[in-house]
Amino acid sequence: MFLGVPVGLAAVVWIQGSQASHVPEVLAAVAILTGLIFNVFVLLFDLTMRATDKTDPAYQNLMNRLTDELRANISYAVLLGLVLTALLGWLALFTDTSQPLPTPISAVLVAIAVQMLLTISMILKRVRALYRAFRRVGPERIP
């Protein structure tokens, strides 16, 4: 799914001859989204530190597995965001942004963007699982 859907949508863009436009606006949105995803990475670090101190040893392996998977997903999403930001930045700097992009470049952008969105959906799923695991451990006590 994580490879087939982006490639499939890129193929649809290629076959239809679609051309992306509004590169500067998309660049701004992707850059902001990448920054927000990186912020989730910092939040995960904080949650991991708190969970390590308060986790019941019976659930420690589950918490470690979930945080490792979430950390990997977030790192991959940030990497995709940086690649997409760099590609869009290059296009904004060195091409005429008043004209639509060529179809092959549009297809590549669609593939990377869809891959990033699917990864973000996986991050949300894993964050939900991590919070459910926190509930099993018990409520956090605020000093």
pLDDT in tens, 11-65: 999 999 999 999 999 999 999 999 999 998 888 888 777 766 666 777 778 888 8
16 lies in some domain: no
pLDDT in tens, 63-106: 888 889 999 999 999 999 999 999 999 999 999 989 999 999 99
Residue 138 pLDDT greater than 70, yes or no: no
Amino acid at 140: E
> Average pLDDT in the 3-16 region?
93
93 lies in some domain: yes
Which residues, other chains included, contact 126 with Cβ-Cβ below 8 Å and sequence gap of 6+? 66, 69, 70, 73
Give 140's pLDDT tier (boundaries 50, 70, 90). low
- Quote the number of domains for the chain: 1
Task: Print burial letters for 90-125: b (CB count within 10 Å at least 16), e (below 16).
Answer: ebeeeeebeeebebebbbbbbbbbbbbebbbebbee
pLDDT > 90: percent of the chain: 63
pLDDT in tens, 102-113: 999 999 999 999
What is the domain extent for residue 78? 4-11+21-137
Mean pLDDT of the chain: 87
126 lies in some domain: yes
142 lies in some domain: no
102 lies in some domain: yes
Give the model's pLDDT for residue 108.
95
